[in-house]
Every structure is written in C-alpha cells, then in structure tokens.
C-alpha cells in the first residue's frame, strides 16, 4: 500500500500493524459512507451497530453479568432487544432504555416483542434529571449495573451523560460510550466538518482526564479494529 502524506511518499505493508490499522480505518470510512451499520437486525428489530461491535458487547455482558443495563438511544429497539436477549440467557435482569423520541411504531414493536418482559422504555432526554433519577432508582435495586451511551453524539452531550450515568456503574462493570468513530469519518462524503472536533472521543478523553483514578479504557473490546467505539469501553476500577 502506498501512502502519500504531503511531500512524503512511503510504502506500508498491509500485513504490518500500521497497515492493519490503516485498512481498518479505510474500511470504517467506506462502510460508514454506505451506512452498513444500519443493515443488521437482532431478533427481528433493526440494530444500528457494526456486527463486530455487537459481538464485543456480547462479550462484555457475558463477563460482567449485569442485572441492570441502562441504555441511552433506542431508535428501532434492536440494541434494546439485544441486551434483553443477553439478560434472558443470563436468567435475570432488566434493560432501561431512554430516548428523547420513541416513535409509535418502534414502541409498539418493542412492547410486542417476546423479550419485552425484560425491557422498560422511558421517553425523555437522557440528560433530563427525570431520566437520571429513573436510572438511579433502578440501579439502587440492582446488584450490577452496566451503561451504554448511544444517543446524541456531541461532545457536550456525551460528557454530560458520562458524568451523570458513570456513578451508577458498579466497580468492575462498564460504561460504553458509542460512536467515537465520528471523529474518524468527518471527511467522508456524507460526513460533517464539525464531527472532527465535536465527537464522543473528546468527551471520553475529557472524562478520563477528570476521573482517571476511577476509570480506565479496556482496549480488548476494540481489538476487532473495525469499531464505532474506539476508546469507548470504559471500565470502572475495582476499589
């Protein structure tokens, strides 16, 4: 593979670590342009995720074995049903899913789904104190809480969510801040210039700077390389 950077031209082997990282980034840009992450469904509901990220979330949930998953960003309910299906396999637990707008047809489909018995939906902004209090009340009743942030992907919003929902996560469990890859796809044809600086990755870095005593990035969940969530799997350290 030949790289042109300014006046510099150099060859990089696609079999080297650098070549692998570059190809993964290229694949992310091309698939994001084609909205490939809108293709999958989970048990009948559309899920807006890359397949690799779905497998990684399965690993996190199976390892942590939460009895509460708080999710921000429901959309069509595919991720909600996915988390509920994992809890069903674990034999316990509930998903609390919060979205500022749950469209009627999506709500009906989620409520009619066989796994709806494990799902609570809340229509509210994730940073509204009502949503946070709802989640905190559920966390008080739970043994192990895991949080997934997949709502509005601006830096300010994700930083607020990390600060509000981070304290609900039990030590050893995770808060997963999704779509940091927005920072890497601002320059694709359907990208937006503002994504370069306004993205979840910045929120993650600021949150970690402020809270490094309690939180760390767990890089094993981004090892598949093509991920929407670089640096997004944040583990609350054990005390």
Ligand X SMILES: C[S@@+](CC[C@H](N)C(=O)[O-])C[C@H]1O[C@@H](n2cnc3c(N)ncnc32)[C@H](O)[C@@H]1O
Q: Which residues bind ligand X (CB under 6 A)?
A: 47-49, 72-76, 78-79, 98-101, 125-126, 150-152
Give the SS3 label for residue 46. strand
CB of 117 to ligand X, least distance (A): 20
Which lies closer to ligand X via its Cβ, residue 72 or residue 173? 72
Angle at alpha carbon of residue 69, lines to 68 and 75, rounded to 5°:
145
Least Å from the CB of residue 90 to ligand X:
20
d(CA 29, CA 23): 10
Counts of helices then strands in the chain (DSSP H, E): 7, 11
Q: For ligand X, which is the closer residue by CB, 76 or 202? A: 76
- Cβ distance to ligand X smaller for residue 5 or 46: 46
d(CA 221, CA 234): 10
- Looking at residue 221, what DSSP letter applies? G
| Phi-psi sector, 111: left (phi>0), alpha (psi -120 to 50), beta | alpha
CB 138 within 8 A of CB 118: no
Task: Please state whether beta strands 174-177 and 233-236 pair in parallel, antiparallel, or not at all (unpaired).
Answer: antiparallel
Q: Any idea what DSSP says for residue 100?
A: S
CB of 182 to ligand X, least distance (A): 11
CB of 100 to ligand X, least distance (A): 4
Closest to ligand X by CB, 48 or 64: 48
Q: What is the DSSP letter of 13?
A: -
Name the residue nearer to ligand X (CB basis): 79 or 229: 79
Residue 68 or 75: the one with the smaller Cβ distance to ligand X is: 75
Q: How far is the CB of 46 from ligand X (least distance, A)?
A: 7
CB of 157 to ligand X, least distance (A): 6
Instruction: Report the C-alpha gap between 112 and 116 in whole angstroms.
Output: 7
């Amino acid at each position: 593979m030949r790289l042109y950077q300014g006046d510099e031209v150099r060859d990089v082997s696609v079999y080297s670590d650098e070549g692998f990282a570059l190809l993964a980034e290229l694949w992310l840009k091309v698939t994001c342009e084609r909205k490939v992450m809108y293709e999958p469904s989970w048990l009948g509901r559309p899920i807006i995720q890359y397949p690799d990220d779905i497998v990684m979330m399965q690993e996190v949930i199976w390892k942590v074995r939460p009895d509460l998953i708080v999710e921000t960003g429901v959309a069509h309910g595919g991720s909600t049903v996915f988390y509920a299906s994992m809890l069903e396999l674990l034999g316990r637990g509930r998903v609390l899913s919060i979205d500022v707008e749950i469209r009627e047809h999506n709500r009906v489909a989620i409520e009619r789904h066989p796994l709806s018995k494990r799902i609570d939906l809340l229509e509210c902004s994730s940073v509204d104190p009502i949503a946070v209090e709802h989640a905190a009340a559920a966390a008080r009743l739970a043994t192990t809480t895991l949080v997934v942030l997949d709502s509005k992907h601006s830096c300010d919003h994700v930083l607020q969510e990390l600060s509000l929902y981070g304290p609900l996560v039990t030590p050893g469990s995770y808060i997963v801040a999704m779509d940091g890859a927005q920072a890497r796809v601002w320059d694709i044809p359907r990208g937006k210039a503002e994504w370069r600086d306004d993205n979840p990755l910045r929120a993650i870095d600021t949150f970690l700077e402020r809270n490094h005593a309690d939180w760390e990035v767990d890089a094993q969940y981004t090892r598949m390389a093509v991920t929407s969530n670089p640096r997004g799997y944040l583990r609350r350290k054990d005390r």
